[in-house]
Amino acid sequence: MIIVKTAEEIELMRESALIVSKTLGMLAKEVKPGVTTLQLDALAETFIRDHGAVPGFLGLYDFPNSLCMSPNAQVVHGIPNNTPLVEGDIISIDCGALKNKFYGDHAYTFEVGEVAPETKKLLEITKKSLYIGIREFKKGNRVGDVGYAIQKFTEDHGYGVVRELVGHGLGRKMHEDPEMPNYGKRGKGKKFIERMVVAIEPMTNLGTHRIKQLKDGWTILTADGKPSAHFEHNVAMVNGKPELLSTFKYVNDALGIVSEEEAEFRRHQLH
């Protein structure tokens, strides 16, 4: 069952989402060769707690850390460790925060130094597919419309769309209805309703869409060992249109990226 939020609850969710956005912005400056994912995890935990929130993933389903850190061929749910990042890596960072009983949950794939052109392109297309999906999250549409749009754009570029892991409704729980696959058929699935909130999160592989799981019971990686990218936003339906609660503004500011990608989905001034 989709849990509709009040206008006040959406404002609380915006607060939680912005803490995650700012955490990713802080991390953007720290992602470089030599740093370990455990060091980044510790920075994020402190930052989240300093902002009056609790790390959303720590202890959730018994996950051991604050961030899911998935380098290179890892898709999602990687566990932070002591291996330093090296030039040419990519690192998908998924971050959650819980404040005022509501979750924020979003993700960005960072480049470590200079990465291969084909990997850079994978990141660019995956991020674009996220906004293409968000555009379909509107009155009259259904879950399948978002999935179809993401899948079409992604597969037109020859990439693999992960099937087993999907986006989701978000609120007092990290995972609420509906599931939001990054594939689907137009006009199929649950109908969107006013003041619902979802996490839309394409997970895109350079090669095959197939995945496998490490024996740690968490880490998902591509079956062919090729890189995978992951970008995620939290979106509320307000007046029949998608409104972003999270933002990559802080990441963009940290990395010197000028982007208008979010302008059409934003009603609020950010500080």
Number of residues that bind Mg ion (CB under 5 A): 5
Question: Considering Cα of 58, then 59, then 60, then 63, what sign does the dihedral take?
Answer: positive
Applying CB under 5 A, does 89 fall inside the site for Mg ion? no
Contact pattern for Mg ion over residues 214 through 253, marking x by CB under 5 A: ------------------x---------------------
Contact (CB, 8 A) for 152 and 158: no
From the list 72, 78, 7, the residue with the least C-alpha distance to 41 is 78
E-strand stretches of 112-247: 160-161, 167-169, 176-180, 197-200, 203-205, 211-213, 220-222, 228-230, 233-238, 241-244
Burial of 111 per CB tally in 10 Å (0-12, 13-18, 19+): middle
Candidates 9, 15, 41, 105; binder of Mg ion (CB under 5 A) is 105
Candidates 15, 94, 136, 176; binder of Mg ion (CB under 5 A) is 94
Applying CB under 5 A, does 136 fall inside the site for Mg ion? no
Task: Using the rule CB under 5 A, give the single segment among 4-12, 93-101, 114-122, 128-136 that binds Mg ion.
Answer: 93-101
Applying CB under 5 A, does 199 fall inside the site for Mg ion? yes
Of the pair 177, 224, the CB lying nearest Mg ion is at: 177
Of the pair 15, 232, the CB lying nearest Mg ion is at: 232
Contact set with Mg ion (CB under 5 A):
94, 105, 107, 199, 232
